[in-house]
Structure formats: structure tokens, C-alpha cells
């Protein structure tokens, strides 16, 4: 009689990894887009389950990023828009339901807020009071998840010194989303620019009129979930580099082992920070986010070297991860922005 060996059930994160791995290539080249992944996660109640906090978000984004950075990046945007609307003033209950289920897409255009608060440049979108609401004009220079019907959260400049945070929709009158350009990677993320021309914002769509007061509490989640998609990419590339550093490439084994060590250390720092995000000093938070991007780009380089010519094929996962890693230094806040802020924390 043949013994029956019980099968260990796949963990939820294993299922997540397998689902996104199967679709990574199509999302990367733009043949597919990230909405299917958001809908799948939403149907499983994984985007922002009731009572979940930053550790759950970091764990999920990290797992997705190991298979598809495009999808993890989009998930970060979706999750942080949930954070904005949950914390902000106004009425957003219906939008939040759609975001949590993945039936609605969320886009964050809050990068200018970070630059404004750092003193680098003022928020570019201007807001004119219009009754109890606002009317918006100006550019959103870059954002992602700009699908039809997406809920976009952005900062606006009211007069010379006033600042506010508002919610609009991509299909609203006066919102013109530019045709997406071809990117080195992440072509399925609907990333582009937007022009706003007399876009009406209703009073219940105003999240805050104190930009610093709004950004301060959400900034740890903003940066740590970004660090999570860096960490997921770093861990996967470092592991693949270690597997490939054998035979003729055995001389690269120390480099691969060092990449694994850095990725593990980053993972541990990230999860410790997610468990107590407000215990980090601002400089520590910035440094973690900067280190995360550097660790990931270093790991993708080592993986490419260890895999050799096989990884140079344009459709290979190695080449995709190398291109994904090239995005991280320019993801806002960029490496230059992070280093500028850190220089002023000394």
C-alpha cells in the first residue's frame, strides 16, 4: 500500500507570489496592466483589511515586488490612497469601499507636497476658492494608476501661502491625462502626466487645509511601503544571484552572499520600523528609504552579472528586474531629494 504524503497547503503569500509571477512579463511590457492584480487582491480582502496596519501592508507589497515590481508599485499607490482618505477630512466612504475591493483604482500625486515641505519648490497646482469648494488649474507632472475613474489625491496651492490636499477623479471635466510614454519598465502602471483646467473640487473632497499637518502622520507609511517594494526586489534578485554564482561564475559567490546579507538586513530593518513607525527619527526614516533603493539596485546588478548572457535577453526575468531596479533612484522622493534632506538633518 502506498503511503499518502499530506500536502502542505500553500500560504496566502505563496498564492500571491504565484499569481503575480505568472503575469509579470505582460504587466512590464504594457500588454496587460495592474488593475487585474488590484482586483484579485481586493477580492481576497488583502489590499487594506479592516484592522490591518502598516506591517500587513509592508509584508504584502514586499511579497508582490519579488515577482512584479510594477504590481507592487501600483499596490503601494492604492494602499497609500486608502491611508490618505481614512485620515483626511471630508466624505470618502464609497471611494474607500471601491479601493479596498480593487474595483476602484487610487493614484497618489503627493510627491510635490514632499518637495514643497522640504523647501525645494512650491506645489504646482493652483486652487481658487469657488464657494465652499475649490477650482484647480495646473500640472500634475507625474503620477501612476491614472486609469479611467481613478481617485487621485494631490496637494494644491491656495493663494501664495495656503496649501490644501484634495481628491479628484481622472474622468472629471477639465482633467486631461496625457498619453502614457513608453518606459524602460513598469509600462502597465498607467504612469503619465495630467493637466488640470478649472477642475471643480467639492467641499467634501477636501482632505486637509494644513499640508504639513496632513503629510506628517502619513509620511512613515508613504516611505516604508515604498521601501517594501525595494526590499522585495532586493531579496529576490539577491537570492537568484546566489543560485547563479556557481561553476564558471563561482568567483561571484562572495558578491552574491554580500547582496543576500544586505537584503536580509534591509528586510529586518523594514519590518522593525513598520512595527513602530513613529519611533523613527525623520533622518532614520529617510535613510531607510534611501538604503532600500540602493540595496535593490545593487542586488539586480549582481544578479545580472551572475546570470551572464542568459539574463541579457530582453524578455528574461533577470533583465526585467535590472530595469525595475533602474527605476528606484528616480522614484519620488528621488535619490537626490533624499540625500538633500538627509544633508540637512545632520
Predicted local confidence at residue 292, as pLDDT? 98
Q: What is the mean pLDDT of residues 12-16?
A: 94
Predicted local confidence at residue 12, as pLDDT? 86
Predicted local confidence at residue 5, as pLDDT? 40
Predicted local confidence at residue 346, as pLDDT? 66
pLDDT band for position 51 (50/70/90)?
Answer: confident
Q: What is the mean pLDDT of residues 59-86?
A: 98
> In angstroms, rounded to a whole number, what is the distance separating the alpha carbons of residues 85 and 132?
19
Predicted local confidence at residue 90, as pLDDT? 95
Q: Which of 311 and 304 is assigned the larger pLDDT?
A: 304
Q: What is the mean pLDDT of residues 115-131?
A: 95
Q: What is the pLDDT of residues 177-216, one digit of tens each?
A: 999 999 999 999 999 999 999 999 999 999 999 999 999 9
The pTM (predicted TM-score) of the whole model is 0.94
Q: Is the pLDDT of residue 8 over 60?
A: no
- How much is the mean pLDDT over the chain? 95
Predicted local confidence at residue 310, as pLDDT? 86
Helices 282-307, 253-275: crossing angle, 10 deg rounding:
150
Q: What is the mean pLDDT of residues 27-50?
A: 95
> In angstroms, rounded to a whole number, what is the distance separating the alpha carbons of residues 192 and 70?
14
pLDDT cut 70: percent of the chain above it: 97
> In angstroms, rounded to a whole number, what is the distance separating the alpha carbons of residues 1 and 9?
24
Q: Name the helix (H) or strand (E) containing 225.
A: helix 211-244
CB neighbour burial string for 75-103, b if at least 16 within 10 angstroms, e if fewer = bbbbbbbbbbbeebebebeebbeebbbbe
Predicted local confidence at residue 9, as pLDDT? 45
- What is the CB neighbour count within 10 angstroms for residue 227? 30
Q: Is the pLDDT of residue 4 over 90?
A: no
Predicted local confidence at residue 194, as pLDDT? 98
Q: What is the pLDDT of residues 151-172, one digit of tens each?
A: 999 999 998 889 999 999 999 9
Q: What is the pLDDT of residues 267-298, one digit of tens each?
A: 999 999 999 998 999 999 999 999 999 999 99
Q: What is the mean pLDDT of residues 136-141?
A: 98
CA angle 272, 278, 63 (to 5 degrees): 40
> In angstroms, rounded to a whole number, what is the distance separating the alpha carbons of residues 319 and 161?
46
Predicted local confidence at residue 10, as pLDDT? 56
55 HSE (CA, 13 A, CB side)? 8
Contact between residue 222 and residue 153 where contact means Cβ atoms under 8 Å apart: no
Predicted local confidence at residue 314, as pLDDT? 87
pLDDT cut 90: percent of the chain above it: 91
Amino acid at each position: 500500500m502506498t503511503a499518502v504524503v499530506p500536502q502542505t497547503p500553500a500560504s496566502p503569500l505563496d498564492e500571491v507570489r504565484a499569481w503575480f509571477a505568472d503575469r509579470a512579463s505582460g504587466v512590464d511590457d504594457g500588454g496587460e496592466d495592474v488593475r487585474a492584480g488590484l482586483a484579485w487582491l481586493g477580492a481576497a480582502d488583502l489590499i487594506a483589511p479592516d484592522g490591518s496596519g502598516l506591517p500587513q501592508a509592508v509584508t504584502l507589497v514586499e511579497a508582490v515586488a519579488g515577482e512584479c515590481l510594477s504590481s507592487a508599485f501600483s499596490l503601494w499607490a492604492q494602499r497609500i490612497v486608502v491611508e490618505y482618505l481614512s485620515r483626511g477630512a471630508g466624505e470618502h466612504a464609497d471611494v474607500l469601499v471601491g479601493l479596498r475591493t480593487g474595483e476602484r483604482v487610487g493614484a497618489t500625486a503627493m510627491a510635490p507636497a514632499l518637495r514643497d515641505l522640504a523647501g525645494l519648490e512650491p506645489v504646482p497646482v493652483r486652487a481658487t476658492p469657488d464657494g465652499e469648494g475649490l477650482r484647480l488649474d495646473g500640472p500634475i507632472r507625474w503620477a501612476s494608476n491614472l486609469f479611467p475613474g481613478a481617485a487621485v489625491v494631490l496637494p494644491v496651492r491656495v493663494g501664495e501661502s495656503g496649501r490644501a490636499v484634495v481628491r479628484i477623479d481622472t474622468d472629471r471635466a477639465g482633467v486631461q491625462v496625457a498619453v502614457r510614454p513608453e518606459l524602460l519598465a513598469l509600462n502597465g502602471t498607467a504612469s503619465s502626466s495630467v493637466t488640470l483646467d478649472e477642475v471643480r473640487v467639492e467641499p467634501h473632497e477636501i482632505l486637509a487645509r494644513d499640508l504639513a499637518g496632513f503629510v506628517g502622520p502619513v509620511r512613515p507609511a508613504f516611505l516604508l511601503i515604498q521601501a517594501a517594494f525595494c526590499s522585495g526586489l532586493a531579496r529576490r534578485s539577491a537570492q537568484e544571484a546566489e543560485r547563479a554564482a556557481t561553476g564558471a561564475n563561482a568567483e561571484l559567490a562572495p558578491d552574491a552572499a554580500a547582496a543576500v546579507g544586505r537584503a536580509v538586513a534591509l528586510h529586518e530593518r523594514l519590518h522593525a520600523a513598520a512595527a513602530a513607525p513613529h519611533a523613527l527619527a525623520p533622518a532614520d526614516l529617510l535613510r531607510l528609504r534611501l538604503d532600500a533603493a540602493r540595496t535593490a539596485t545593487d542586488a539586480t546588478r549582481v544578479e545580472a552579472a551572475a546570470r551572464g548572457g542568459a539574463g541579457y535577453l530582453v524578455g528574461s526575468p533577470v533583465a526585467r528586474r535590472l530595469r525595475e531596479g533602474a527605476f528606484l533612484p528616480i522614484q519620488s522622493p528621488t535619490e537626490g531629494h533624499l540625500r538633500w534632506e538627509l544633508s540637512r538633518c545632520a
